[in-house]
Amino acid sequence: MAKRGRPSTFDREEALERAMELFWARGYEGVTLDDLLVAMGGITPPSLYHAFGSKERLFLKAADLYLATIGDPTLRALEEGKTAREAVEAMLRLTAESFSAPGKPHGCLLVLGATNCAPSNKGPQDYLRAIRQRAPEVIEQRLKRAVVEGDLPPHLDTAAVAAFYATVIHGLGVRAGDGASREALIAAVDGAMAAWDALAMTTNTDPQNATGPATVTATDLRRG
């Protein structure tokens, strides 16, 4: 009698990557169990549940993989830029490129993967929301570092600037998912960076906040 369950060629990491791309393209609720079994190399339901636990847990792992692979270059660009402006611009341009990469789903899994889900799918929706809510904090910590280094003015409203650029990132994800071209996304980045000088002059009503201790880092965001 033939054995049932996990095929001998089952590759967990490859299967997870295929699941990630399927969720990225269709969103959590747009993907059925049968879709996953086919995309993951024709595995059986017992194999999927043994390796990942459930569709929801598979989605959370796929979101983590997306952040660790697709998102990582943009986070490193933010950390490694010589100036805050260079860091933010590099982050935005890499983001626009990743959202419109040939041969990959367009848009952002973290933005579009689980939006306004049914109550039974609240877990994936809340998980992605929590990741998105950390994005402005990560950007703000880079801006605060720039304030300490003298790259930005001492009383800059870092929270306001970070909120603006986090909104730009999320907007790029939505526009790319709607089919906007890479050229259109880059044009949006150009517009956002044209606002930098004006934004860099905004003042914080609480000056101590501008140089407060860093509490959230890009590494924290990667942890999911």
Residue with tokens 């935005």: 92
> Which contacts qualify for 147-153: CB closer than 8 Å, 24 or more apart?
147/210, 147/211, 148/211, 151/83, 151/84, 152/84, 152/200, 153/200, 153/201, 153/203
Q: Please check whether residue 142 is in contact with residue 76, taking contact to mean a CB–CB distance below 8 angstroms.
A: no
pLDDT tens-digit profile of 116-126? 999 999 999 99
Please compute the mean of the pLDDT values over residues 67-96 and round it to a whole number: 97
**Structure-model confidence comparison of residues 215 and 151, the more confident one:** 151
Name the band, by pLDDT with cuts 50, 70 and 90, for residue 205.
low
State yes or no: pLDDT of 1 exceeds 60. Answer: no
Structure-token pair, residue 136 = 């402005």
Name the band, by pLDDT with cuts 50, 70 and 90, for residue 11.
confident
> Which contacts qualify for 62-65: CB closer than 8 Å, 24 or more apart?
62/16, 62/19, 62/20, 62/23, 62/24, 62/109, 63/20, 63/23, 63/109, 63/110, 63/113, 63/124, 63/127, 63/128, 63/131, 63/224, 64/224, 65/16, 65/17, 65/20
Q: Average pLDDT, whole number, for the chain?
A: 89
Q: What does the pLDDT read at residue 203? A: 80
Interatomic CA distance for residues 59 and 16, integer angstroms: 9
State yes or no: pLDDT of 173 exceeds 70. Answer: yes
